[in-house]
Structure 1
Amino acid sequence: MPTGQLVLVATPIGNLADISTRALDALRDANAILCEDTRVTTKLIRHYGISNTLLPVHDHNEQSRLPSLLARLHNGETLALVSDAGTPIVSDPGYRLVRAAIEAGISVTSTPGANAAVTALCLSGLPPIPFMFLGFPPRGEARKHSFATLRATEQAGLSATLIWYESPRRLCETLQDLQDVFGSHRPAAVGRELTKHFEEMIRGTLEELAEHFNENAPRGEITLLIGPSPEEDTGAHDLDQLLLEALSKHSVKDAASLVAGIVNLPKRTVYSRALELSKK
Protein backbone atom coordinates (compact mmCIF):
# COMPACT_ATOMS: atom_id res chain seq x y z
CA MET A 1 0.00 0.00 0.00
CA PRO A 2 1.43 3.44 -0.88
CA THR A 3 2.08 5.79 2.02
CA GLY A 4 -0.14 8.78 2.64
CA GLN A 5 0.84 12.41 2.68
CA LEU A 6 1.39 15.17 5.21
CA VAL A 7 0.13 18.53 3.94
CA LEU A 8 1.26 21.77 5.61
CA VAL A 9 -1.63 24.17 5.19
CA ALA A 10 -1.10 27.91 5.65
CA THR A 11 -4.07 29.65 7.26
CA PRO A 12 -4.95 33.35 7.64
CA ILE A 13 -3.01 35.49 10.13
CA GLY A 14 -6.09 37.59 10.87
CA ASN A 15 -8.38 38.13 7.91
CA LEU A 16 -10.32 34.92 7.23
CA ALA A 17 -10.46 35.77 3.52
CA ASP A 18 -6.69 35.28 3.20
CA ILE A 19 -6.72 31.57 2.41
CA SER A 20 -6.28 29.83 -0.92
CA THR A 21 -8.68 27.50 -2.71
CA ARG A 22 -6.03 24.77 -2.54
CA ALA A 23 -5.75 25.20 1.22
CA LEU A 24 -9.51 24.85 1.67
CA ASP A 25 -9.54 21.76 -0.54
CA ALA A 26 -6.73 20.27 1.53
CA LEU A 27 -8.64 20.86 4.76
CA ARG A 28 -11.79 19.42 3.27
CA ASP A 29 -10.18 16.32 1.71
CA ALA A 30 -7.77 15.30 4.48
CA ASN A 31 -8.56 12.31 6.67
CA ALA A 32 -7.94 14.57 9.66
CA ILE A 33 -6.67 18.06 10.49
CA LEU A 34 -3.84 18.40 13.00
CA CYS A 35 -4.06 21.73 14.79
CA GLU A 36 -2.63 23.69 17.72
CA ASP A 37 -5.96 24.68 19.24
CA THR A 38 -9.17 23.00 18.09
CA ARG A 39 -11.19 26.08 19.08
CA VAL A 40 -9.25 28.32 16.71
CA THR A 41 -9.33 25.88 13.78
CA THR A 42 -13.03 25.14 14.35
CA LYS A 43 -13.79 28.82 13.77
CA LEU A 44 -11.94 28.73 10.44
CA ILE A 45 -13.45 25.56 9.02
CA ARG A 46 -16.98 26.46 10.14
CA HIS A 47 -16.61 29.78 8.34
CA TYR A 48 -16.00 27.83 5.12
CA GLY A 49 -18.53 25.08 5.78
CA ILE A 50 -15.93 22.37 6.24
CA SER A 51 -16.55 19.40 8.51
CA ASN A 52 -13.56 17.26 9.46
CA THR A 53 -11.90 15.55 12.40
CA LEU A 54 -9.60 17.84 14.41
CA LEU A 55 -6.67 16.36 16.35
CA PRO A 56 -4.74 18.65 18.71
CA VAL A 57 -0.99 18.59 18.07
CA HIS A 58 0.95 21.12 20.11
CA ASP A 59 4.25 21.55 21.95
CA HIS A 60 3.12 19.42 24.88
CA ASN A 61 1.92 16.35 22.98
CA GLU A 62 3.61 16.39 19.57
CA GLN A 63 6.37 13.95 20.49
CA SER A 64 4.00 11.45 22.08
CA ARG A 65 1.64 11.57 19.09
CA LEU A 66 4.33 10.80 16.51
CA PRO A 67 3.93 6.98 16.48
CA SER A 68 0.18 7.05 15.91
CA LEU A 69 0.37 9.83 13.31
CA LEU A 70 3.15 8.10 11.39
CA ALA A 71 1.15 4.86 11.48
CA ARG A 72 -1.83 6.63 9.90
CA LEU A 73 0.39 8.12 7.22
CA HIS A 74 1.97 4.72 6.52
CA ASN A 75 -1.53 3.32 6.13
CA GLY A 76 -2.21 5.73 3.28
CA GLU A 77 -4.03 8.55 5.04
CA THR A 78 -3.61 12.22 4.22
CA LEU A 79 -3.18 14.49 7.23
CA ALA A 80 -3.37 18.29 7.06
CA LEU A 81 -1.24 20.24 9.54
CA VAL A 82 -2.22 23.81 10.48
CA SER A 83 -1.14 26.31 13.10
CA ASP A 84 -3.43 28.80 14.79
CA ALA A 85 -2.41 31.40 12.21
CA GLY A 86 -0.03 31.59 9.28
CA THR A 87 2.39 29.04 7.90
CA PRO A 88 2.83 25.87 10.02
CA ILE A 89 6.04 25.10 11.96
CA VAL A 90 7.37 28.69 11.61
CA SER A 91 7.54 29.50 15.34
CA ASP A 92 4.75 26.95 15.81
CA PRO A 93 4.52 23.20 16.54
CA GLY A 94 4.98 20.63 13.79
CA TYR A 95 8.71 20.51 13.09
CA ARG A 96 9.18 17.17 14.86
CA LEU A 97 6.33 15.63 12.89
CA VAL A 98 7.65 16.97 9.58
CA ARG A 99 11.13 15.69 10.35
CA ALA A 100 9.85 12.26 11.38
CA ALA A 101 7.70 11.99 8.26
CA ILE A 102 10.64 12.84 6.01
CA GLU A 103 12.85 10.30 7.75
CA ALA A 104 10.10 7.69 7.35
CA GLY A 105 9.92 8.31 3.60
CA ILE A 106 6.46 9.87 3.75
CA SER A 107 5.54 12.57 1.24
CA VAL A 108 5.38 16.08 2.72
CA THR A 109 3.95 18.98 0.73
CA SER A 110 2.36 22.37 1.41
CA THR A 111 -0.29 24.85 0.37
CA PRO A 112 1.60 28.13 0.90
CA GLY A 113 0.04 31.30 2.19
CA ALA A 114 0.17 33.98 4.85
CA ASN A 115 3.13 34.55 7.16
CA ALA A 116 3.24 37.42 9.65
CA ALA A 117 7.03 37.84 9.63
CA VAL A 118 7.27 38.19 5.84
CA THR A 119 4.18 40.43 5.70
CA ALA A 120 5.65 42.75 8.33
CA LEU A 121 9.01 42.80 6.55
CA CYS A 122 7.36 43.88 3.29
CA LEU A 123 5.46 46.68 5.06
CA SER A 124 8.29 47.86 7.33
CA GLY A 125 10.35 49.88 4.86
CA LEU A 126 13.46 48.15 6.22
CA PRO A 127 15.95 46.34 3.93
CA PRO A 128 14.26 43.05 2.97
CA ILE A 129 17.37 41.01 2.12
CA PRO A 130 18.99 39.52 4.02
CA PHE A 131 16.68 39.08 6.98
CA MET A 132 16.79 36.81 10.01
CA PHE A 133 13.63 35.58 11.72
CA LEU A 134 14.20 34.67 15.36
CA GLY A 135 10.79 33.60 16.68
CA PHE A 136 9.90 34.90 20.14
CA PRO A 137 12.76 36.43 22.16
CA PRO A 138 13.58 34.82 25.52
CA ARG A 139 12.14 36.32 28.67
CA GLY A 140 13.86 38.20 31.48
CA GLU A 141 17.66 38.46 31.62
CA ALA A 142 18.04 35.84 28.89
CA ARG A 143 16.45 38.28 26.45
CA LYS A 144 19.14 40.92 26.82
CA HIS A 145 21.83 38.24 26.66
CA SER A 146 20.43 36.94 23.36
CA PHE A 147 20.38 40.50 21.98
CA ALA A 148 23.98 41.00 23.08
CA THR A 149 24.98 37.85 21.21
CA LEU A 150 23.30 39.18 18.07
CA ARG A 151 25.05 42.52 18.48
CA ALA A 152 28.35 40.67 18.81
CA THR A 153 27.57 38.82 15.60
CA GLU A 154 26.93 42.16 13.90
CA GLN A 155 30.33 43.34 15.05
CA ALA A 156 31.74 40.20 13.47
CA GLY A 157 30.12 41.07 10.13
CA LEU A 158 26.38 40.22 10.21
CA SER A 159 24.21 42.77 8.39
CA ALA A 160 20.52 41.83 8.26
CA THR A 161 17.07 42.99 9.26
CA LEU A 162 16.10 41.10 12.43
CA ILE A 163 12.52 39.96 13.06
CA TRP A 164 10.78 38.65 16.17
CA TYR A 165 7.23 37.92 17.30
CA GLU A 166 6.43 39.37 20.71
CA SER A 167 3.66 39.46 23.26
CA PRO A 168 2.03 42.90 23.67
CA ARG A 169 2.58 42.52 27.42
CA ARG A 170 6.35 42.34 26.95
CA LEU A 171 6.82 44.68 23.99
CA CYS A 172 7.85 47.75 26.00
CA GLU A 173 10.43 45.78 28.01
CA THR A 174 11.79 44.27 24.81
CA LEU A 175 12.09 47.66 23.12
CA GLN A 176 14.03 48.94 26.13
CA ASP A 177 16.43 45.99 25.99
CA LEU A 178 16.90 46.53 22.26
CA GLN A 179 17.79 50.16 22.90
CA ASP A 180 20.29 49.19 25.56
CA VAL A 181 22.04 46.75 23.22
CA PHE A 182 21.62 48.15 19.68
CA GLY A 183 21.29 51.85 20.48
CA SER A 184 18.34 54.23 20.60
CA HIS A 185 18.68 55.38 16.99
CA ARG A 186 18.50 51.98 15.26
CA PRO A 187 15.71 52.01 12.61
CA ALA A 188 12.86 49.71 13.60
CA ALA A 189 9.21 48.88 13.00
CA VAL A 190 6.35 47.22 14.84
CA GLY A 191 3.50 45.55 12.98
CA ARG A 192 0.29 45.12 14.95
CA GLU A 193 -2.88 43.22 14.03
CA LEU A 194 -1.65 42.65 10.47
CA THR A 195 -4.42 42.04 7.87
CA LYS A 196 -7.10 42.89 10.45
CA HIS A 197 -9.35 45.94 10.71
CA PHE A 198 -7.03 47.75 13.12
CA GLU A 199 -3.80 46.91 11.27
CA GLU A 200 -0.99 49.23 12.23
CA MET A 201 2.66 49.54 11.19
CA ILE A 202 4.65 51.93 13.37
CA ARG A 203 8.04 52.94 11.95
CA GLY A 204 10.85 54.95 13.52
CA THR A 205 13.87 54.56 15.74
CA LEU A 206 13.83 52.19 18.70
CA GLU A 207 13.58 55.22 20.97
CA GLU A 208 10.58 56.59 19.06
CA LEU A 209 8.82 53.22 19.09
CA ALA A 210 9.43 52.85 22.82
CA GLU A 211 7.95 56.30 23.45
CA HIS A 212 4.93 55.51 21.28
CA PHE A 213 4.08 52.24 23.01
CA ASN A 214 4.74 53.62 26.49
CA GLU A 215 2.03 56.15 25.72
CA ASN A 216 -0.21 53.78 23.72
CA ALA A 217 -0.48 50.35 25.31
CA PRO A 218 0.15 47.70 22.63
CA ARG A 219 -2.59 45.21 21.88
CA GLY A 220 -3.02 42.26 19.56
CA GLU A 221 -0.51 40.21 17.59
CA ILE A 222 2.91 41.89 17.42
CA THR A 223 5.75 41.54 14.91
CA LEU A 224 8.91 43.47 15.79
CA LEU A 225 11.72 44.35 13.37
CA ILE A 226 15.00 46.26 13.55
CA GLY A 227 17.07 47.28 10.57
CA PRO A 228 20.66 46.21 9.96
CA SER A 229 23.62 47.91 11.55
CA PRO A 230 24.27 51.27 9.84
CA GLU A 231 27.11 51.50 7.30
CA GLU A 232 29.08 53.82 9.57
CA ASP A 233 29.11 51.14 12.28
CA THR A 234 32.80 50.27 12.40
CA GLY A 235 32.43 47.25 14.68
CA ALA A 236 33.18 44.64 12.02
CA HIS A 237 36.11 46.64 10.61
CA ASP A 238 37.59 47.23 14.07
CA LEU A 239 37.32 43.54 14.92
CA ASP A 240 39.09 42.53 11.72
CA GLN A 241 41.87 45.02 12.28
CA LEU A 242 42.48 43.77 15.80
CA LEU A 243 42.41 40.16 14.68
CA LEU A 244 44.78 40.72 11.76
CA GLU A 245 47.26 42.39 14.06
CA ALA A 246 46.97 39.61 16.64
CA LEU A 247 47.23 36.87 13.98
CA SER A 248 50.52 38.29 12.80
CA LYS A 249 52.01 37.34 16.19
CA HIS A 250 49.82 34.57 17.62
CA SER A 251 48.01 31.37 16.70
CA VAL A 252 44.33 31.55 15.73
CA LYS A 253 43.26 30.33 19.17
CA ASP A 254 45.48 32.75 21.08
CA ALA A 255 44.62 35.68 18.80
CA ALA A 256 40.91 35.05 19.27
CA SER A 257 41.24 34.85 23.06
CA LEU A 258 43.24 38.05 23.16
CA VAL A 259 40.89 40.05 20.96
CA ALA A 260 37.72 38.66 22.61
CA GLY A 261 38.90 40.21 25.87
CA ILE A 262 39.50 43.56 24.19
CA VAL A 263 36.22 43.89 22.31
CA ASN A 264 34.06 42.10 24.91
CA LEU A 265 32.58 39.64 22.39
CA PRO A 266 31.92 35.91 22.83
CA LYS A 267 35.10 33.90 22.21
CA ARG A 268 33.29 31.55 19.82
CA THR A 269 32.24 34.46 17.58
CA VAL A 270 35.71 35.98 17.56
CA TYR A 271 37.36 32.60 16.94
CA SER A 272 35.14 31.93 13.93
CA ARG A 273 36.10 35.27 12.41
CA ALA A 274 39.78 34.72 13.23
CA LEU A 275 39.64 31.36 11.48
CA GLU A 276 38.15 32.98 8.36
CA LEU A 277 40.80 35.70 8.30
CA SER A 278 43.63 33.22 8.78
CA LYS A 279 42.64 31.45 5.55
CA LYS A 280 42.77 34.59 3.41
Structure 2
Amino acid sequence: MQSTQTQLLRLSQGQLNILERCPRQFQYTYLEQLHSPADPEHEERQTLGSRFHLLMQQREMGLPIDTFLQEDAQLQSWMRAFADAAPDILTPAPGSQTFRESEHYRTLQVQDYLLTVIYDLLIADNQQAQILDWKTYPKPPNKSKLEQNWQTRLYLYVLAETSDYLPENISMTYWFVQSEGQPQSIKFSYNTVQHQQTAKRLNQLLSRLTYWMERYQLGEPFPQEPEGSKACDYCQYTKRCDRSQHGSEQMPTAKSPITVDTNLLNLASIQEVTL
Protein backbone atom coordinates (compact mmCIF):
# COMPACT_ATOMS: atom_id res chain seq x y z
CA MET A 1 0.00 0.00 0.00
CA GLN A 2 1.45 3.36 -1.00
CA SER A 3 2.14 5.77 1.86
CA THR A 4 0.53 9.19 1.71
CA GLN A 5 2.39 10.55 4.72
CA THR A 6 3.52 14.14 4.24
CA GLN A 7 7.22 14.80 4.68
CA LEU A 8 7.62 17.46 7.34
CA LEU A 9 9.85 20.45 6.72
CA ARG A 10 12.09 21.37 9.62
CA LEU A 11 12.06 25.01 10.64
CA SER A 12 14.14 26.83 13.24
CA GLN A 13 13.64 30.23 14.79
CA GLY A 14 16.20 31.74 12.40
CA GLN A 15 14.19 30.59 9.39
CA LEU A 16 10.98 31.99 10.89
CA ASN A 17 12.68 35.34 11.46
CA ILE A 18 13.79 35.56 7.83
CA LEU A 19 10.45 34.33 6.52
CA GLU A 20 8.63 37.04 8.48
CA ARG A 21 11.13 39.72 7.50
CA CYS A 22 11.16 38.92 3.78
CA PRO A 23 9.70 35.81 2.09
CA ARG A 24 11.95 36.26 -0.96
CA GLN A 25 15.03 36.23 1.27
CA PHE A 26 13.78 32.94 2.73
CA GLN A 27 13.51 31.54 -0.80
CA TYR A 28 17.05 32.53 -1.74
CA THR A 29 18.62 31.46 1.53
CA TYR A 30 16.89 28.18 2.36
CA LEU A 31 15.28 26.88 -0.81
CA GLU A 32 17.99 27.85 -3.27
CA GLN A 33 20.95 27.86 -0.85
CA LEU A 34 22.35 31.14 -2.19
CA HIS A 35 24.94 32.72 0.06
CA SER A 36 27.17 35.77 -0.13
CA PRO A 37 30.94 35.45 0.41
CA ALA A 38 31.82 34.82 4.05
CA ASP A 39 32.76 37.81 6.19
CA PRO A 40 36.00 36.85 8.02
CA GLU A 41 35.16 39.06 11.01
CA HIS A 42 31.69 37.54 11.31
CA GLU A 43 33.10 34.03 11.00
CA GLU A 44 35.62 34.77 13.75
CA ARG A 45 32.83 35.96 16.07
CA GLN A 46 30.78 32.85 15.24
CA THR A 47 33.72 30.59 15.99
CA LEU A 48 34.38 32.25 19.34
CA GLY A 49 30.69 32.08 20.20
CA SER A 50 30.59 28.39 19.32
CA ARG A 51 33.64 27.74 21.51
CA PHE A 52 31.93 29.43 24.47
CA HIS A 53 28.82 27.30 23.94
CA LEU A 54 30.94 24.16 23.81
CA LEU A 55 32.75 25.24 26.97
CA MET A 56 29.46 25.72 28.83
CA GLN A 57 28.18 22.38 27.55
CA GLN A 58 31.29 20.52 28.70
CA ARG A 59 31.12 22.18 32.11
CA GLU A 60 27.47 21.22 32.51
CA MET A 61 28.32 17.62 31.62
CA GLY A 62 31.02 17.54 34.29
CA LEU A 63 33.87 17.30 31.81
CA PRO A 64 37.20 19.06 32.53
CA ILE A 65 37.50 22.55 31.04
CA ASP A 66 40.79 23.80 32.53
CA THR A 67 42.81 22.99 29.43
CA PHE A 68 40.16 24.64 27.29
CA LEU A 69 40.41 27.85 29.35
CA GLN A 70 44.20 27.88 29.48
CA GLU A 71 44.34 27.88 25.68
CA ASP A 72 41.95 30.81 25.26
CA ALA A 73 42.33 33.97 27.37
CA GLN A 74 39.07 35.41 25.98
CA LEU A 75 37.01 32.42 27.07
CA GLN A 76 38.75 32.46 30.44
CA SER A 77 37.80 36.10 30.93
CA TRP A 78 34.17 35.50 29.94
CA MET A 79 33.83 32.47 32.19
CA ARG A 80 35.31 34.29 35.18
CA ALA A 81 32.98 37.25 34.68
CA PHE A 82 29.95 35.03 34.21
CA ALA A 83 30.76 33.02 37.33
CA ASP A 84 30.86 36.28 39.31
CA ALA A 85 27.61 37.56 37.80
CA ALA A 86 25.56 34.36 38.00
CA PRO A 87 27.05 31.93 40.54
CA ASP A 88 23.65 30.31 41.17
CA ILE A 89 23.47 29.17 37.54
CA LEU A 90 26.92 27.62 37.49
CA THR A 91 26.77 26.16 41.00
CA PRO A 92 23.35 24.74 41.90
CA ALA A 93 22.47 24.17 45.55
CA PRO A 94 23.70 20.84 47.00
CA GLY A 95 21.06 18.12 46.95
CA SER A 96 18.91 20.00 44.48
CA GLN A 97 16.35 17.90 42.60
CA THR A 98 16.44 20.28 39.65
CA PHE A 99 16.65 18.93 36.11
CA ARG A 100 19.47 20.53 34.11
CA GLU A 101 20.51 19.82 30.55
CA SER A 102 22.77 21.65 28.15
CA GLU A 103 21.93 21.80 24.42
CA HIS A 104 18.43 20.51 25.21
CA TYR A 105 16.65 19.58 21.98
CA ARG A 106 12.88 19.67 21.38
CA THR A 107 10.60 19.45 18.36
CA LEU A 108 6.96 20.28 17.80
CA GLN A 109 4.81 19.60 14.76
CA VAL A 110 2.61 22.47 13.63
CA GLN A 111 0.74 21.92 10.38
CA ASP A 112 3.21 20.23 7.99
CA TYR A 113 6.28 21.65 9.71
CA LEU A 114 8.57 20.33 12.42
CA LEU A 115 9.64 23.23 14.61
CA THR A 116 13.00 22.65 16.23
CA VAL A 117 14.57 24.40 19.21
CA ILE A 118 17.85 23.87 21.04
CA TYR A 119 18.12 25.42 24.49
CA ASP A 120 21.64 26.30 25.61
CA LEU A 121 20.57 25.29 29.11
CA LEU A 122 17.23 24.12 30.47
CA ILE A 123 16.73 24.23 34.25
CA ALA A 124 13.48 22.81 35.60
CA ASP A 125 11.90 21.57 38.81
CA ASN A 126 8.40 20.63 39.92
CA GLN A 127 7.26 24.24 39.89
CA GLN A 128 8.92 26.06 37.00
CA ALA A 129 11.19 25.80 33.98
CA GLN A 130 13.87 28.25 32.87
CA ILE A 131 15.40 28.50 29.39
CA LEU A 132 18.85 30.09 29.29
CA ASP A 133 20.63 31.28 26.18
CA TRP A 134 24.22 32.51 25.88
CA LYS A 135 25.15 35.44 23.63
CA THR A 136 28.73 36.50 23.04
CA TYR A 137 28.39 39.78 21.15
CA PRO A 138 28.92 43.01 23.07
CA LYS A 139 25.68 44.99 22.93
CA PRO A 140 22.34 43.54 24.02
CA PRO A 141 19.52 44.41 21.62
CA ASN A 142 16.46 46.45 22.53
CA LYS A 143 14.31 44.37 24.89
CA SER A 144 11.07 44.98 23.00
CA LYS A 145 12.69 43.85 19.74
CA LEU A 146 14.17 40.82 21.45
CA GLU A 147 10.73 39.94 22.79
CA GLN A 148 9.34 39.91 19.23
CA ASN A 149 12.23 37.86 17.88
CA TRP A 150 11.18 34.34 16.93
CA GLN A 151 13.87 32.86 19.13
CA THR A 152 12.11 34.22 22.20
CA ARG A 153 8.60 33.45 20.96
CA LEU A 154 9.33 29.98 19.61
CA TYR A 155 11.51 28.78 22.49
CA LEU A 156 8.86 29.66 25.07
CA TYR A 157 6.02 28.38 22.92
CA VAL A 158 7.57 24.97 22.21
CA LEU A 159 8.38 24.33 25.86
CA ALA A 160 4.81 25.12 26.91
CA GLU A 161 3.43 22.87 24.17
CA THR A 162 5.73 19.93 24.88
CA SER A 163 5.65 19.90 28.69
CA ASP A 164 3.16 20.00 31.58
CA TYR A 165 4.25 23.49 32.64
CA LEU A 166 1.74 26.30 32.43
CA PRO A 167 3.01 29.29 30.41
CA GLU A 168 3.04 31.32 33.65
CA ASN A 169 5.65 28.92 35.07
CA ILE A 170 8.06 29.25 32.14
CA SER A 171 10.70 31.92 31.58
CA MET A 172 13.60 32.61 29.24
CA THR A 173 16.77 34.51 30.08
CA TYR A 174 19.43 35.72 27.66
CA TRP A 175 22.92 36.18 29.07
CA PHE A 176 25.20 38.56 27.17
CA VAL A 177 28.58 37.49 28.46
CA GLN A 178 30.65 40.02 26.51
CA SER A 179 28.61 43.13 27.36
CA GLU A 180 30.46 46.18 28.64
CA GLY A 181 31.39 46.08 32.29
CA GLN A 182 29.99 42.72 33.35
CA PRO A 183 27.63 40.16 31.82
CA GLN A 184 24.07 41.38 31.45
CA SER A 185 20.86 39.42 31.39
CA ILE A 186 17.43 40.03 29.87
CA LYS A 187 14.62 37.89 31.25
CA PHE A 188 11.20 37.21 29.76
CA SER A 189 8.33 35.77 31.74
CA TYR A 190 5.55 34.00 29.86
CA ASN A 191 1.78 33.83 30.17
CA THR A 192 -1.27 32.26 28.55
CA VAL A 193 -2.20 35.36 26.57
CA GLN A 194 1.28 35.51 24.99
CA HIS A 195 1.07 31.80 24.27
CA GLN A 196 -2.22 32.22 22.43
CA GLN A 197 -0.87 35.18 20.48
CA THR A 198 2.20 33.22 19.42
CA ALA A 199 0.04 30.27 18.34
CA LYS A 200 -2.10 32.54 16.17
CA ARG A 201 0.86 34.31 14.59
CA LEU A 202 2.74 31.06 14.03
CA ASN A 203 -0.17 29.35 12.30
CA GLN A 204 -0.74 32.40 10.09
CA LEU A 205 2.91 32.47 9.06
CA LEU A 206 3.06 28.74 8.35
CA SER A 207 -0.18 28.84 6.34
CA ARG A 208 1.35 31.56 4.19
CA LEU A 209 4.52 29.51 3.80
CA THR A 210 2.49 26.53 2.60
CA TYR A 211 0.77 28.70 0.00
CA TRP A 212 4.04 30.27 -1.15
CA MET A 213 5.69 26.84 -1.38
CA GLU A 214 2.84 25.57 -3.56
CA ARG A 215 3.15 28.58 -5.86
CA TYR A 216 6.95 28.26 -5.88
CA GLN A 217 6.73 24.67 -7.09
CA LEU A 218 4.66 25.99 -10.00
CA GLY A 219 7.36 28.50 -10.88
CA GLU A 220 6.21 31.58 -8.94
CA PRO A 221 8.79 33.20 -6.65
CA PHE A 222 8.10 34.13 -3.06
CA PRO A 223 6.82 37.71 -2.46
CA GLN A 224 9.25 40.59 -2.09
CA GLU A 225 9.17 43.38 0.41
CA PRO A 226 7.89 46.72 -0.96
CA GLU A 227 10.41 49.08 -2.57
CA GLY A 228 12.18 51.09 0.13
CA SER A 229 11.62 48.53 2.90
CA LYS A 230 14.12 48.63 5.75
CA ALA A 231 14.52 44.88 5.33
CA CYS A 232 16.46 45.61 2.14
CA ASP A 233 19.02 47.90 3.80
CA TYR A 234 21.28 45.07 4.99
CA CYS A 235 20.19 42.28 2.65
CA GLN A 236 22.77 40.53 0.46
CA TYR A 237 20.22 39.98 -2.29
CA THR A 238 19.46 43.60 -3.19
CA LYS A 239 20.96 43.32 -6.67
CA ARG A 240 19.26 40.02 -7.33
CA CYS A 241 15.97 41.64 -6.34
CA ASP A 242 16.65 44.75 -8.45
CA ARG A 243 16.57 46.83 -5.30
CA SER A 244 19.80 48.68 -6.14
CA GLN A 245 18.43 49.97 -9.43
CA HIS A 246 15.24 51.60 -10.66
CA GLY A 247 14.16 48.46 -12.38
CA SER A 248 11.32 46.06 -12.02
CA GLU A 249 10.42 45.02 -8.49
CA GLN A 250 9.70 41.45 -9.51
CA MET A 251 12.13 38.81 -10.57
CA PRO A 252 11.11 36.96 -13.74
CA THR A 253 8.83 34.04 -13.01
CA ALA A 254 10.42 30.67 -13.65
CA LYS A 255 9.13 29.02 -16.81
CA SER A 256 8.97 25.51 -15.45
CA PRO A 257 7.86 23.95 -12.14
CA ILE A 258 10.47 23.87 -9.39
CA THR A 259 11.17 20.86 -7.23
CA VAL A 260 11.98 21.66 -3.62
CA ASP A 261 14.48 19.46 -1.82
CA THR A 262 12.97 19.36 1.66
CA ASN A 263 16.32 18.36 3.12
CA LEU A 264 17.52 21.90 2.48
CA LEU A 265 15.41 23.04 5.40
CA ASN A 266 17.11 20.74 7.89
CA LEU A 267 19.01 22.39 10.72
CA ALA A 268 22.64 23.20 10.14
CA SER A 269 25.31 22.51 12.74
CA ILE A 270 24.66 24.15 16.08
CA GLN A 271 25.99 27.70 16.30
CA GLU A 272 25.19 30.72 18.39
CA VAL A 273 21.91 32.16 17.21
CA THR A 274 22.28 35.68 15.87
CA LEU A 275 19.42 37.99 16.79
Shorter-chain TM band: under 0.3
Question: Which of the pair has the greater relative contact order for Cα pairs under 8 Å at 6+ separation?
Answer: 2
TM-score, normalised on structure 2?
A: 0.27
Q: Which has the larger radius of gyration?
A: 1
